[in-house]
Amino acid sequence: MLVAVMAVSLLFPVVALAADPTVTITVSAVVVSITNSQDTWAIGPVVVDAVVYFSADGNADVDYSQIENTGNVAVDVEIQGTDADDETYDWTLAAAAGDKTYSLYANSEGAPTVYDVEVKSSSYVDLTTDLAALGAYDWSMKFTAPTDFDAADDGTDKTITVTLVASQH
Amino acid sequence: MRKLVLCGFLAIALLLAIPGCPSASSGQVFDGGAVSIQTFERGLWLKGSEVTIVNLYPGYVGSMEFEVGNGIQDNTVKEVRISVEPEDDKDLGDGWVQLPSQYYSWFSIDNPVFTLRPGESQKVTVTVSMPEDADYPNKKARCELLVMGWTVVGTTTNEWGDVVNVCGNVPIGVASEWYIETY
């Protein structure tokens, strides 16, 4: 019997396995929350070189929309745009309007006549940082149409999406 | 001269108000599912603004839970889309790098698209599953969970006959910033 047990032990030697490390996952209970008072912008028909502001009538109104921090922590709010897309004849978003290229700028608070935040399609950019809980931020945008575009654009609808994202400061 | 002619006759309708919501894969109006009523009164909110994962090793499987809600006072329906995205902070912090995008597949979201009526919230589970053959040891990497809320302004029927949400074109999002240290 002893011989049999020893034989089994030799066949199945005990190997000390390395223990897996302890994984720690921590999810904070902090709530990030924002509102933005204007969730739609209908620019309407435009011609070349047209300038349209994010407001009720298309004219400059820097306080048109308001972001509120409704969470319980200070946040940074970033903004990103897209090309003007109609699936055939896109207008590219760039720093300056040009041929089939449009530009989009947002205003930073405290500079009501200066639209100095370039909205990009390639990345998010800061719109406001360290916005305190219960704090508010008034903002608007300035759209400049291309300096030229194809006759094929006549009457076509294009879609631009402007995204605001808040994260904990 | 050509430009003048264009100015005179071309009117490009930039009808930004009514793009379809980005839930193109199904495009359906989602019934909220297992939602609950919360007391956060305003805004699109995310509980779980920051996550740290320490000692993540190949073969590990675990999960974490978040909660997403839509403020009752806003009186708007939100189509919510959730995804793992690059961390867009310019300053990632000393020693931290962007998590390479090929590793986003380590994270699966149980319910990445849903609709919330005013005052509703929904729990979201994210499963972390690092493959056995993953070769990414001793790294400090960052990414984020991005929760986008698109205000539903109506519905329409698409070319396949599905009823789809029509959303505003200035959506808001809230992000959970993730700090991942691999073993």
Q: Measuring CA to CA, which residue among A122, A130, A77 is closest to residue B86?
A: A122
Asked if A163 lies within 8 A of B148 by C-beta distance, the reply is: yes
A33 within some domain: no
Grouping H, G, I as helix, E, B as strand and the rest as coil, residue B105 is helix
Amino acid letter for position A106: A
Structure confidence by residue, pLDDT tens digits, B95-137: 999 999 999 999 999 999 999 999 999 999 999 999 999 999 9
- Arithmetic mean of pLDDT over chain B: 82
Q: Does A11 score more than 60 pLDDT? A: no
A139 within some domain: yes
Structure confidence by residue, pLDDT tens digits, A102-128: 999 998 776 667 899 999 999 999 999
Q: Which residues lie below 8 Å from residue A122, measured CB to CB, with a gap of 6+?
A: none
Choice among A47-51, A59-63, B78-82 with the minimum mean pLDDT: A59-63
Q: Does A4 score more than 70 pLDDT? A: no
A84 within some domain: yes
Closest residue to B65, CB basis, from A27, A149, A163:
A27
How much is the pLDDT for A33? 95
Asked if B183 lies within 8 A of A21 by C-beta distance, the reply is: yes
Other C-beta atoms lying within 10 Å of the C-beta of residue A109: 15
What is the rounded CA–CA span in Å between residue B42 and residue B73? 5
Q: Does A20 score more than 60 pLDDT? A: yes
Q: How far is CA B112 from the centre of its chain?
A: 7
Grouping H, G, I as helix, E, B as strand and the rest as coil, residue B73 is coil
On whether any CB of chain B is under 8 Å from the CB of A26, the answer is yes
pTM, full prediction = 0.83
A101 within some domain: yes
Q: Could you please report the per-residue DSSP string of B4-45? A: HHHHHH--EEE-TT-PBPS-TTT-PPPP--S-EE----SSEE
Q: Measuring CA to CA, which residue among B19, B17, B28 is closest to residue B113?
A: B28
What is the rounded CA–CA span in Å between residue B48 and residue B68? 9
How far is CA B52 from each of CA A26, A47, B49, B98, B181, rounded to the nearest angstrom? Answer: 5, 50, 11, 14, 8
What is the rounded CA–CA span in Å between residue B109 and residue B112? 6
Q: Which residue is closest to A68 within chain B, CA to CA?
A: B43
What is the rounded CA–CA span in Å between residue B102 and residue B54? 20
Q: Measuring CA to CA, which residue among A70, A77, A73 is closest to residue A30?
A: A73
A68 within some domain: yes
DSSP B106: G
Q: Measuring CA to CA, which residue among A158, A37, A47, A30 is closest to residue A92?
A: A158
Q: How many domains does chain A have?
A: 1
The residue with greater pLDDT, A87 or A140, is A140
Closest residue to A39, CB basis, from B3, B50, B151:
B151
Amino acid letter for position A156: T
Q: Which residue is closest to B19 within chain A, CA to CA?
A: A159
Q: Does B78 score more than 50 pLDDT? A: yes
On whether any CB of chain B is under 8 Å from the CB of A59, the answer is no
Asked if A35 lies within 8 A of B44 by C-beta distance, the reply is: yes
How much is the pLDDT for B37? 47
The residue with greater pLDDT, A7 or A63, is A63
A31 within some domain: no
3-state secondary structure chain A: CHHHHHHHHHHCCCCCCCCCCCCEEEECCCEEEEEECCCCCCCEEECCCCEEECCCCCCCCCCCEEEEECCCCCEEEEEECCCEECCCCCEEECCCCEECEEEEEECCCCCCCCCCEECCCCCCEEEEEEECCCCEEEECEEEECCCECCHHHCCCCCECCCEEEEEEC
How much is the pLDDT for A96? 98
Task: Please answer whether residues A31 and B69 qualify as being in contact, where contact means their C-beta atoms are separated by less than 8 angstroms.
Answer: no
A60 within some domain: yes
Beta pairing class for B44-47 and B61-70: antiparallel
Structure confidence by residue, pLDDT tens digits, A29-55: 999 999 999 999 999 999 999 999 998
Domain range for residue A108?
45-168
What is the rounded CA–CA span in Å between residue B180 and residue B92? 12
Residues from chain A that touch B17, judged by Cβ atoms under 8 A, are: 40-42
Question: What is the share, in percent, of chain B residues with pLDDT greater than 70?
Answer: 78
A37 within some domain: no
